[in-house]
Amino acid sequence: MDAILFFVVLLDFVVVLLMRAGIARIGRIFGFMGKIIRSFRIETEMQTILPDIIFITGNMASGKSSVAQALAERLPRSIHLRGDLFRRMIINGQAEMAFNLSAEAQSQLQLRYDLARVTAKRYADAGFTVVYQDIVIGAMLSEVVAAFHPYPLAVVVLCPRADVIAAREQARAKTGYPDRAMVDTFDRVLRFETPCLGYWLDNSDLTVPETAERIVSHLAQTRGDAHVEDII
């Protein structure tokens, strides 16, 4: 038992004694102190298991944005870095991001990945845990992951079933797929052409909080000590 945990248990014991003795006000003060110490202990433990950067990828409508936001909100000092932000910053001359990319679209996509990587590293250097999410599937995943060397990096691939993706696509305001056939096409690329790097999580039947919890549990089990060279 570590020193902080021992102190918390001792405080709980003191609170019980004070409450039984009828000194409720003092007991509540000690109880409040215990909550503060518990919160500090949780934050300290999270910092020890977290890599510098948590990279969440997957197809459109797989839940990347919602899960990344929920995960970042759970961390003590965190950034939610949205890769698509760099695409949306282009006002004139933005290339269409279709399944078959034009040369200009490929160039802009690479620029987007480069800018996200540099931004993530700068935030990590400043002491933040970066939750970076973007669509990186197919052979490109290996290249994007390798570019983060030597920063400690955890890769999470959200891979819900194609029928779930299609249902989520229908339910949301924005449109990412022209039809159901394209959903299946992207699903095949994810499952059969994407390198098996990192933690693949089928979140078909999970809520956003449940998905975030699974990721935190996975990081705790691996102690967040993966480096790029460990997962390639």
Give 193's Cβ-side CA count (13 Å radius): 12
> How far apart are the C-alpha atoms of 32 and 158, rounded to whole Å?
39
Inter-axis angle of helices 24-49 and 3-20, nearest 10: 160
Span 50-231 CATH architecture: 3-Layer(aba) Sandwich (3.40)
Q: Whose CA is closest to 130, among 61, 51, 27?
A: 51
For residue 109, pLDDT beyond 80: yes
Q: Whose CA is closest to 59, among 190, 163, 153, 232?
A: 190
DSSP 3-state helix, strand, coil percentages of the chain (rounded to 5)?
55, 10, 30
| Residue scoring higher pLDDT (218 or 48) | 218
pLDDT > 70 in the chain, percent: 75
Q: Whose CA is closest to 69, among 133, 157, 137?
A: 133
Q: Lowest mean pLDDT: which of 8-17, 110-119, 143-152, 165-174?
A: 8-17
For residues 109 and 99, the answer to whether their CB atoms sit within 8 Å is: no
Q: What is the pTM of this model?
A: 0.78
Residue spans of the domains in the chain: they are 3-46, 50-231
